[in-house]
Structure 1
Amino acid sequence: MREKRRMISEAARQLGLETYNLRTWEEEFSLVIPRNEKGYRYYGEKEIHTFEQIRDLKNQGLDSEEIKQKLSGNIIPFPAEKQIDASEKMREFQKVLVKIMGQAILEQKDYIADQISSKVSDRVAKEVDYQFRLRESEEEQRFKKLDELIRNQQKAREEIAASREKKRFFRRKRKEK
């Protein structure tokens, strides 16, 4: 039975990659990809498997040199600092998570503080405005009363002055008689 051959677009789709990834990796890892009579690349199961390995190794964080060595079968043990066990990965993940959460909390704290400040400022401004209007109203009432008292006093003085004038007038008339 013949092996199924795929064009580059079909292979990329099957691998969940873009076609340029396959071309780049072909060159980067010196892969020999068979071509048809027209010079088009075609991918069999062997090539698909190779690209799956490359994709998986890249997803694990290996660099190109490490992937080349794995593909060639010359597996060189990773240096000690690269051999991170699961608990170390978990600790690193937790540190990153704590850092992200801390930053998110700080951002939320700042946002909430701004919102509270804004609302408090609005309320304070409204209260100050209310108190200002209340004082203006009270002062207006006080000035109206003061104005009324002054007018009444002026009227009383005018009446006193008029009555004095009448008295003088009548005193003169009495003296003249």
Structure 2
Amino acid sequence: MKTIGEAAAELGVEAHVLRHWEDVGALAVPRDGKGYRMYDDKAVEQARTVLKLRRVGLSLPEVTAAMAPKKSQAQAVVRAKIAELEAEVERRQQAIAFLQHTAECRHRYLDECSDCAAFVREA
């Protein structure tokens, strides 16, 4: 069993972060007889999962939903995040293509280049 401070140190987060995760329902932590949070192995592992989900881009409401008891609910949240990340990757790839073209473009001004103008017109 670990105190909140010990669990936070192990996870590399501040204790207030763990409290917040518990407050919003992303983390369930057992209490001792005096009401102190006691992080058993299950609670630490759950916090580690929350941390990983946060690091891959899920918001706390998404984390809470992704850790729902119903697998179908969790899968729906994760699939939606995958779609969002894939769309972001596509936008970034388009940005890189545009910037690479403009860096190599022989025209002095972007509006003089039909390729640059085509990039600009894209949604």
**Smaller-chain TM-score range?**
0.5 to 0.7
* Equivalent residue in structure 1 for 2:41, among 25, 29, 45: 45
* Equivalent residue in structure 2 for 1:7, among 3, 10, 14: 3
**Unmatched runs of 5 consecutive residues or more in structure 2:** 104-123
TM-aligned CA deviation for residue 91 of structure 1? 2.5
CA distance in 1, matches of 2:32, 2:44: 17
Match for residue 93 of structure 2? 91
**Aligned Cα root-mean-square deviation (Å):** 3.1
TM-aligned CA deviation for residue 90 of structure 1? 6.7
Higher helix share: 1
CA distance in 1, matches of 2:10, 2:29: 17
Report the AA paired with residue 59 of structure 1.
Answer: R
Task: Figure out how many residues of one structure are paired with residues of the other and give that number.
Answer: 93
**Contact 2:27 2:46 (C-alpha < 8 Å) held by counterparts:** no
CA distance in 2, matches of 1:39, 1:79: 36
Alignment of 1:24-103 (within 5 A): 24-29=20-25, 31-72=27-68, 73=71, 74=73, 75-76=75-76, 77-78=79-80, 81-84=83-86, 88=90, 91=93, 95=96
Rg larger in structure: 1
TM-aligned CA deviation for residue 20 of structure 1? 0.1
- Identity, % of aligned positions: 27
CA distance in 1, matches of 2:39, 2:53: 20
Report the AA paired with residue 20 of structure 1.
Answer: H
| TM-score, with structure 2 as normaliser | 0.62
| TM-score, with structure 1 as normaliser | 0.44
Report the AA paired with residue 44 of structure 1.
Answer: D
TM-aligned CA deviation for residue 88 of structure 1? 3.7
